[in-house]
Amino acid sequence: MAIQDIYPTALRLLGRPVLVVGGGPVAARRAKGLLDAGARVTVVAPVASAALRELADAGLLTWEPRTYRPSDVDGVWFVQTATGDPAVDTQVSADAEAQRIWCVNASDHEASAAWTPAVAVVDDVQIAVNAGGDPRRAMALRDAVATALETGDLPLRRRRVPKDFDKLNHRGSVALVGGGPGDTGLITVRGRRLLGQADVVVADRLGPRELLNELAPDVRVLEVGKTPGHHPVPQAEINRILVEEALAGHRVVRLKGGDPYVLGRGGEEAEFCRQHGVGVEVVSGVTSAISVPAAAGIPVTHRGLAKGFSVVTGHEELSEVPARADHTIVLLMGVAALRDSAAALAAAGLPQDTPVGIVENGYLPNQRVTIGTLGSIADQAEATGVANPAVIVIGDVVRVSPFAPSHFKTADYSTTTPNKPRSPRTTARALTT
């Protein structure tokens, strides 16, 4: 049987009698699948596996503990053979054919009137794959398609409104999705999937913007991005948009850079949605406070250098954090106030020679790293035109970065070779004093 001779379709067997001939593992799998479809299953086999006996004992199917009889196919809608005996399977198939009943012959796929595809279910989408009678090939393809749907690489979004859809009383949903620092590969699988199902995307200026180009043409993208000191769409308006779109029955994704609950005002948005009766899901993202330093090879903690770190957004909060080189300080949105922040930390007792690293556009092709000291970094940043988006890291952990100059690498911080500093990578691009 050639694949072009197959007409793909789906059977609705709810409440209809079906026959399974055979009692082994294959018969058990097929019986279970037929039960899941709502069929009334009868199994004919002299001996049944433990799985089949459990189903029979639970009253989910009928087991006839005997050999097959031609009359067993009378009145059924569908037949599955799985005896392991080609002669018996062929007889069952011939009897079904004579009565114009569709039959899957497990012993001979070429002679079978029907094939059972490899099946997976993602949400309310059922994937069925036939692969020329090669079940392992079909299963591999099924798994690949299911994974692509799960991860959002294939469109899972609904396109047809159900007949019983009540727009006035139906409420959509809101998902606050952390998109990570900007690289499309750093969004979570869950976040990517929700983005692929969205009807409306409320997008920030930062985050994995390239993913917006993969959305279907009819997905509405509402831009609400902010820049330092410029908020064209106030937060109150963003909150209103989320609720209004969800109450209109739409699946709404609020796509943010980093993590929605790390200086992303996600808590405010979630609270507003819940107050207005809108279901909201929060999908954590890879926060820029940790991931962007990592893009420059800077760990926020490192054995022998720092056991803790603080994340702040401006120099006003710096009086509350430890002013020690062994406690890492991560500044977000701190470029404009960098000089004031450096002065505040120096006044609090942090040495002027404390290493400081600035990572602009982390993980993106135009990533740039500037490394200096607390006393020099403000002048360096102005001279080189450092601009947001950028993450500033202050503390001895900057010494670990392969972008750091060689004279920074004099302390004993190697965890693999004690008393031997790590060598900087010659391929790294760094702007240093």
Q: How far apart are CA 78 and CA 21, in angstroms?
A: 11
In eight-state DSSP terms, residue 418 is: T
| Chain centre distance of CA 107 | 40
* Contacting residues for 399 by C-beta, under 8 A, at least 6 apart: 305, 355, 408, 409, 411, 413
* Contacting residues for 153 by C-beta, under 8 A, at least 6 apart: 192, 196
Residue in 89, 199, 204, 396 annotated catalytic: 204
Q: List the structure tokens of 3.
A: 């694949």
Burial of 192 (0-12, 13-18, 19+ CB in 10 A): buried
138 and 117 in contact (C-beta within 8 Å)?
A: yes
Q: List the structure tokens of 35.
A: 């039960």
Q: Assess whether 259 carries a catalytic annotation.
A: no
Residue in 85, 226, 326, 340 annotated catalytic: 226
Q: Assess whether 32 carries a catalytic annotation.
A: no
Q: How far apart are CA 27 and CA 32, in angstroms?
A: 8
Label residues 262-285 b or e (16+ Cβ within 10 Å = b): bbbbbeebbebbeeeebebebbbb
Planar angle of CA 422, 423, 429, nearest 5 degrees: 125
Q: Give the chain's radius of gyration (CA, Å).
A: 31
Which residues are the active-site residues? 204, 226
